């Protein structure tokens, strides 16, 4: 069977009992991601940097597809957690890159009053696959050479 799109465990997490993302209901658009390890997200103070929550997962999909990462709808109200970048954009060439093997992570700020502990296995966000279009006269031909945040390097 030809692989079209899906999820795999990243290098270094093979023995960490990682759950691959799944849709929980028949009509869900998003695949639910879980935390790969325990992490504490401190309450926000000026100068606080977002905390990357690792999933232990990478994703493969077609050249004209993208995986969009979104927060869980309950995170802002129940925990004060918001994604630092509003959404995450996972490009097809992020998969297997030499820096981090395409490790998918969620970058959170905690706007609650106290630190929030996320435990291994906690649902943290979701990913939705989309097709995308390119503009007339698009000339993109570069190659990704790194991981998280490497596109402009």
Q: Which residues contact 109 (CB under 8 A, 6 or more apart)?
A: 41, 44, 48, 50, 51, 81, 82, 83, 84
Q: b/e string for 110-136 if b means 16 or more Cβ within 10 A?
A: bebeeebebebeebbbbbebeeeeeee
Backbone φ, ψ for residue 94 (5° rounding): -75, -30
Confidence at residue 16, expressed as pLDDT on a 0 to 100 scale = 97
Q: What is the pLDDT along the chain (153 residues), one digit of tens a residue?
A: 789 999 999 999 999 999 999 999 999 999 999 999 999 999 999 999 999 999 999 999 999 999 999 999 999 999 999 999 999 999 999 999 999 999 999 999 999 999 999 999 999 999 999 999 999 998 888 775 665 555 555
DSSP state of 16: S
Confidence at residue 91, expressed as pLDDT on a 0 to 100 scale = 95
Confidence at residue 148, expressed as pLDDT on a 0 to 100 scale = 53
CATH code of the region 6-131:
2.70.40.10
Token representation of residue 95: 């998969």
Pairing relationship of beta strands 65-71 and 6-9 according to DSSP bridges: unpaired
Confidence at residue 40, expressed as pLDDT on a 0 to 100 scale = 98
What residue spans define the domains of the chain?
6-131
What is the C-alpha to C-alpha distance for residues 47 and 63, in angstroms, rounded to an integer? 37
Strand partners, 60: 6
Confidence at residue 150, expressed as pLDDT on a 0 to 100 scale = 53
Q: Which residues contact 84 (CB under 8 A, 6 or more apart)?
A: 50, 107, 108, 109
């Amino acid at each position: 069977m030809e692989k079209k799109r899906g999820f795999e465990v990243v290098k270094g997490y093979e023995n960490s009992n990682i759950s691959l993302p799944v849709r929980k209901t028949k009509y869900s658009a998003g695949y639910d991601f879980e935390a790969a390890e325990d992490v504490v997200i401190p309450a926000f103070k000026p100068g606080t940097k977002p905390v990357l929550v690792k999933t232990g997962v990478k994703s493969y999909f077609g050249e004209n597809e993208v995986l969009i990462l979104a927060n869980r709808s309950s995170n802002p109200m129940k925990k004060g957690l918001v994604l630092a970048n509003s959404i995450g954009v996972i490009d097809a060439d992020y998969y297997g890159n030499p820096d981090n093997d395409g490790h998918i992570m969620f970058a959170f700020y905690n706007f609650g009053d106290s630190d929030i502990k996320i435990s291994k296995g906690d649902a943290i966000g979701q990913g939705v696959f989309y097709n995308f279009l390119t503009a007339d006269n698009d000339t993109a031909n570069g190659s990704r050479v790194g991981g998280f945040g490497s596109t402009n390097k």
